Structure 1
Amino acid sequence: MTPRLDAFGLVVADMARSLAFYRRLGLEIPVEADSAPHAEHTLPGGVRLMWDTVQTVRSFDPNWSPPDGAQISLAFRCADPAEVDSVFAAMTGAGHAAHLKSWDAPWGQRYAVLLDPDGNGVDLYAPLPPAPN
């Protein structure tokens, strides 16, 4: 058997706050999950995004501590460059942290980076229209 990526997880300090952030980005996560020690959302294609509270992780790994530096970065594709800007504005307007304001990246995408409540990078991107000839 060859292992296949089935899920990836985030360790969160405040489940409700983290899930509210990802709901605002369009993930459908039941409100009941806000008080759970573990939550999951199945993405298109079947891979699951999971959240576990710090307390849950420490229940089986008592010495767990957050890693130094970047933990993980998630990327959300937007429909077009204008949506990158509008989602970034809506998220920061709702009080979520901005890391990098929208810009036209040299690799041909409109790009912006938010931080989720636990400091994980959340990229917003969309292809830029082709340059006129």
Structure 2
Amino acid sequence: MEPRISIVTLGVSDLARSRAFYEQLGWQASAASNEHVTFFQAGGIALALYSRKALAEDAKLPDGECAFGGITLAYNVRDKAEVAAVLAEAETAGGRILKPAQDVFWGGHSGYFADPDGHPWEVAWNPFFTLNERGNLILP
């Protein structure tokens, strides 16, 4: 298996609401989207929005709400001040702030928001990582 991720799919309760949230944050839906699924290009991978119930059925998993699903998504920024700005943008779009921007133990600055379905996103400035001109993370 080659080490890569092609698509991250988020199970959502209301596809139109979730699509509108991400579009308000500046994401552009792909022409491959339809009434059942929305795709967004996210650097070298895609983010997909799909019915939570249908996603659970497809994966042969029970659909149950839980406080934390054991995964977060991360959005890295180029400078410390951008963390608070992105969190504010997410809140304005209808997201919920889980943790405000703050210095963190590992030497960076981060905060968290949840999208309308509660999927947690970390917004982080990491002084040890670099973002290229396209915003893709370059690990040391």
Measured against the shorter chain, the TM-score band is 0.7 to 0.9
Shift of 1:3: 5.2
Call closer, same or farther: CA 1:84–1:60 in 2, change over 3 Å. Answer: closer
CA contact (8 A) 2:25 2:93 kept: no
- Within 2, Cα distance between the matches of 1:101 and 1:31? 35
- Within 2, Cα distance between the matches of 1:32 and 1:8? 15
Shift of 1:125: 0.8
Structure 2 unpaired stretches of 5+: 129-140
Single out whichever of 114-123 and 58-67 deviates more from structure 2: 58-67
Q: Which residue of 2 aligns with 1:122?
A: 121
CA contact (8 A) 2:76 2:124 kept: yes
Task: Name the aligned partner's letter for residue 65 of structure 1.
Answer: D
Q: Which residue of 2 aligns with 1:17?
A: 17
Q: Secondary structure at the match of 2:43?
A: coil
Deviations 1:45-76 (A, max 9, x none): 2x222111135336646874135332331111
Deviations 1:48-107 (A, max 9, x none): 221111353366468741353323311111121111111212322444211001101121
Task: Describe how 1:1-133 pairs up with structure 2 within 5 A.
Answer: 2=1, 4=3, 5-29=5-29, 33=33, 36-45=35-44, 47-57=45-55, 60=58, 64-66=62-64, 68-71=66-69, 72-128=71-127
Call closer, same or farther: CA 1:101–1:58 in 2, change over 3 Å. Answer: closer
TM, length-normalised to structure 1? 0.75
Structure 1 unpaired stretches of 5+: none
Q: Give percent identity, aligned residues only.
A: 25
Length, aligned pairs only: 126
Structure showing greater Rg: 1
